[in-house]
């Protein structure tokens, strides 16, 4: 049988076409490989390349807000330290509502959420949580004045219970509803924890639910509020990451970071800084103040007089401020880092040239000079005593927050030059519907109101004591205050 052999004649054109097709296929393969590699490129590498860590959080005392020395809050401090740990910058995205955070994360708008989120079963289906950094419980809060303390769920059925919408509190109440079908509650998108606490005090609602860490910070400003009972078992707070990440590198670095700061004590120090002072807070009664005025004030009285004369203040006002700050203790140190009898921040000490914040004379002099500086920043058309009360508010909450409150006061028809009007609107700085419209954002607006009120009371008592002493004709001279030992802890 004849064998037929097919022969293909080669030509320069055919060879060129095959070479072109080969390079085309190789190029397409390379592009596909690059796409795959880019898709699988670790999330940490992307962050290192752009030099920025993007984090979602919320305004609030336990998370992120603007303090006297700038941005602060436990979540902010943790995120800032993690950014430093990675060697990148930190960019914060503030979300006003809890319900928006997870969609924002899954929409690739940020790298993770650091907003004090409780680890719940419902949330675990949507995000991946890091190891916990704090444990809390959900607590039922009520106003104890004239009311019997509820001790179980059945005791609050029929009462007005309201919680923050899309919160772990709402989730917990849904679980409890299975066992207590008559239990009812209301959720509010426009309210936060602090607003609900205010509504309890005003009698608009009977109960709310708050995480134990948040109530530790708030209860100082609402002495009539109390914990009825824990409404949940202990829960963990953690950062939330996307569940569909192509790798674990960023998540693993976050887990390593928490393991490291837990082991070296940094986490404990941060928790103490943000919560320790609140745990130790006890309202000061007039009888205790009178006792301290007799026992602790004399060694420092001449220092207050000297600083007041140099800066144009009444020494009794400086003494009242000092008592509000430190109870006249020279070596007082708060967990937030302020020190001394006038509780001067490190930043302010540097600006004023203070070498030792624990030296009573230096601290009192610095406090007086700082008050004078703030007093000079208050608009000239604000008359006394409103000018002084606003100075004290700025000393406590910051000049920027005071200006925000004055603008809100004016927008609501109040007089921004009158303290009695401004103090009504300062608390709005803690409400997100208001603070999100301001330049300086969230602030514990109730705190400067209480702060100024206390100082005015202490000042009135000191004036009364001083005038009474001047009217007395004692046979024995008063001891030289310079010979009395200062009070320390």
3: pLDDT strictly greater than 50: no
**What local confidence, expressed as pLDDT, does residue 41 receive?**
47
Is pLDDT of 326 > 70? yes
State yes or no: pLDDT of 78 exceeds 70: yes
User: CA–CA separation, 20 vs 17, rounded Å?
Assistant: 5
Share in percent of the chain as helix, strand, coil (round to 5):
55, 15, 35
Question: 171 near 99, Cβ under 8 Å?
Answer: no
pLDDT(75) > 70: yes
Question: Helix axis angle, 360-377 relative to 315-326, nearest 10°?
Answer: 110
Give the strand pairing for 208-211 and 162-164.
unpaired
Whether the per-residue pLDDT at 5 is higher than 60: the answer is no
Q: State residue 335's pLDDT score.
A: 63
In this prediction, residue 117 carries a pLDDT of 96
Q: CATH topology of 44-133+237-278 equal to that of 284-483? A: no
Least confident of 34-43, 146-155, 307-316: 34-43
pLDDT at position 417 over 60: yes
DSSP annotation of 129: E
Under DSSP, the state recorded for 69 is T
How do residues 381-402 score in pLDDT, each as one tens digit?
Answer: 998 888 999 999 999 999 999 9
Q: What confidence score (pLDDT) does residue 127 get?
A: 95
User: What mean pLDDT value characterizes the chain?
Assistant: 85
The pLDDT assigned to 366 comes to 93
Total Cβ atoms within 10 A of residue 440: 18
pLDDT in tens, 91-107: 999 998 888 999 999 99
Least confident interval from 39-43, 184-188, 204-208, 370-374: 39-43
Residue pair 166/98 in contact by the 8 Å Cβ criterion: yes
Classify domain 44-133+237-278 by CATH architecture: 3-Layer(aba) Sandwich (3.40)
Q: Which of 12-21, 414-423, 477-486 has the lowest mean pLDDT?
A: 477-486
Annotated catalytic residue, options 75, 162, 216, 325: 325
pLDDT tens digits, 168-216: 999 999 999 999 999 999 998 866 888 899 899 889 999 999 999 999 8
- In this prediction, residue 12 carries a pLDDT of 52
Cis omega (within 30 of 0) for bond into 408:
no
Q: How confident is the model at residue 34 (pLDDT cuts 50, 70, 90)?
A: very low
Tokens of 385: 């005593």
Active-site residue flag, 260:
no
Tell me: the pLDDT tens digits for 235-276?
999 999 998 766 789 999 999 999 999 999 899 888 987 886
Task: Residue 37: count other Cβ atoms within 10 Å of its Cβ.
Answer: 9
CA distance 49 to 51: 5
pLDDT the model gives residue 125: 93
CATH superfamily of 138-233: Periplasmic binding protein-like II (3.40.190.10)
Please answer whether residues 436 and 430 qualify as being in contact, where contact means their C-beta atoms are separated by less than 8 angstroms. no
Q: Can you give the residue ranges of every domain in the chain?
A: 44-133+237-278, 138-233, 284-483
Whole-angstrom distance, CA of residue 134 vs CA of residue 238: 7
DSSP for 322-369, written as a single string: HHHHHSS-TT-B-TTS-BTTTTB-HHHHHHHT-S-TTSHHHHHHHHHH
Lowest mean pLDDT: which of 48-62, 273-287, 363-377? Answer: 273-287
Q: Express as a percent the part of the chain with pLDDT over 70.
A: 82
Q: What is the pLDDT of residues 330-339, one digit of tens each?
A: 988 776 678 8
CA–CA distance, 175 with 196 (Å, rounded to integer): 22
pLDDT of residue 280: 53
Which long-range contacts (C-beta less than 8 Å, at least 24 apart) are formed by 318-322? 318/364, 318/367, 318/368, 318/371, 319/458, 319/462, 320/455, 320/456, 320/458, 320/459, 320/462, 321/367, 321/371, 321/392, 321/395, 321/455, 322/364, 322/367
| Res. 481 pLDDT band, cuts 50 70 90 | very low
Residue 37: what pLDDT? 43
Q: Which of these ranges, 11-20, 73-82, 115-124, 246-255, has the smallest mean pLDDT?
A: 11-20
CA distance 40 to 271: 37
Which burial class, exposed, middle or buried, applies to 202 when counting CB atoms under 10 A from its CB (0-12, 13-18, 19+)?
A: exposed
The Cα angle at residue 294 between residues 293 and 298, in degrees rounded to 5: 85
Radius of gyration over every alpha carbon of the chain, rounded to an integer in angstroms = 30
Per the DSSP assignment, residues forming a β-bridge with 162 are 186
**Percentage, residues of the chain above pLDDT 90:** 57
For residue 126 the two structure tokens come to 């949507």
CATH number of the domain located at residue range(s) 284-483 in this protein: 1.10.530.10
Residue 345 has pLDDT above 80, yes or no: yes
Per-residue confidence at 316, pLDDT binned at 50, 70, 90? very high
Angle 386-397/315-326 helices, nearest 10 degrees?
30
pLDDT grade for 348, boundaries at 50, 70 and 90: confident
């Amino acid at each position: 049988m004849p064998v037929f052999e097919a022969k293909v004649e080669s030509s320069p054109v055919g060879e060129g076409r095959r070479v072109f097709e080969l390079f085309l296929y190789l190029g397409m393969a390379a592009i596909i490989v690059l796409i795959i590699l880019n898709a699988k490129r670790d999330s940490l590498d992307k962050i290192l390349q752009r030099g920025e860590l993007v984090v979602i959080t919320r305004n609030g005392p336990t998370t992120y807000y603007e303090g006297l020395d700038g941005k602060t809050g436990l979540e902010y401090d943790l995120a800032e330290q993690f950014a430093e740990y990675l060697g990148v910058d930190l960019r914060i995205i503030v979300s006003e509502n809890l319900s928006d955070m997870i969609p924002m994360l899954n929409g690739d708008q940020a790298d993770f959420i650091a907003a004090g989120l409780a680890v719940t079963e419902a949330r675990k289906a949507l995000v991946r949580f890091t190891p916990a950094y704090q444990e809390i419980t959900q607590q039922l809060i009520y106003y104890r004045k004239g009311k019997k303390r509820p001790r179980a769920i059945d005791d609050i059925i029929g009462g007005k219970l309201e919680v923050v919408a899309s919160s772990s509190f709402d989730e917990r109440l849904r679980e409890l509803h299975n066992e207590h079908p008559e239990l009812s509650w209301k959720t509010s998108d426009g309210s936060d924890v602090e607003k609900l606490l205010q509504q309890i005090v005003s009698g608009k609602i009977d109960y709310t639910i708050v995480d134990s860490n948040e109530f530790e910070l708030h209860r100082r400003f609402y002495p009539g509020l109390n914990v009825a009972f824990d409404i949940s078992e202990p829960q963990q707070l953690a950062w939330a990451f996307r569940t569909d990440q192509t790798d674990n590198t960023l998540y693993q670095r976050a887990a390593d970071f928490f393991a490291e700061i837990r082991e070296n004590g940094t986490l404990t120090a941060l928790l103490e800084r943000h919560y320790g002072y609140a745990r130790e807070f006890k309202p000061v009664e007039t009888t205790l103040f009178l006792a301290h005025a007799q026992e602790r004030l004399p060694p420092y009285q001449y220092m207050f007089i000297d600083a007041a004369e140099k800066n144009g203040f009444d020494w009794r006002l400086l003494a009242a401020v000092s008592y509000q700050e430190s109870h006249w203790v020279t070596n007082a140190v708060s967990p937030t880092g302020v020190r001394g009898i006038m509780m001067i921040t490190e930043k302010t000490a540097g600006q004023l040239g203070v070498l030792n914040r624990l030296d009573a004379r230096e601290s009192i002099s610095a406090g007086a000079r700082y008050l004078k500086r703030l007093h000079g920043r208050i608009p000239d058309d604000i008359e006394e005593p409103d000018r002084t009360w606003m100075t004290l508010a700025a000393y406590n909450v910051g000049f920027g927050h005071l200006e925000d409150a004055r603008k809100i006061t004016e927008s609501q028809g109040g007089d921004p030059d009158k303290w009695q009007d401004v103090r009504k609107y300062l608390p709005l700085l803690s409400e997100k519907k208001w603070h999100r419209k301001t330049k300086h954002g969230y602030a514990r607006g109730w705190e400067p109101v209480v702060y100024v009120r206390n100082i005015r009371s202490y000042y009135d008592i000191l004036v009364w004591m001083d005038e009474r002493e001047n009217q007395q004709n004692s046979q024995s001279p008063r001891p030289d205050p310079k010979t009395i030992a200062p009070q320390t802890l």
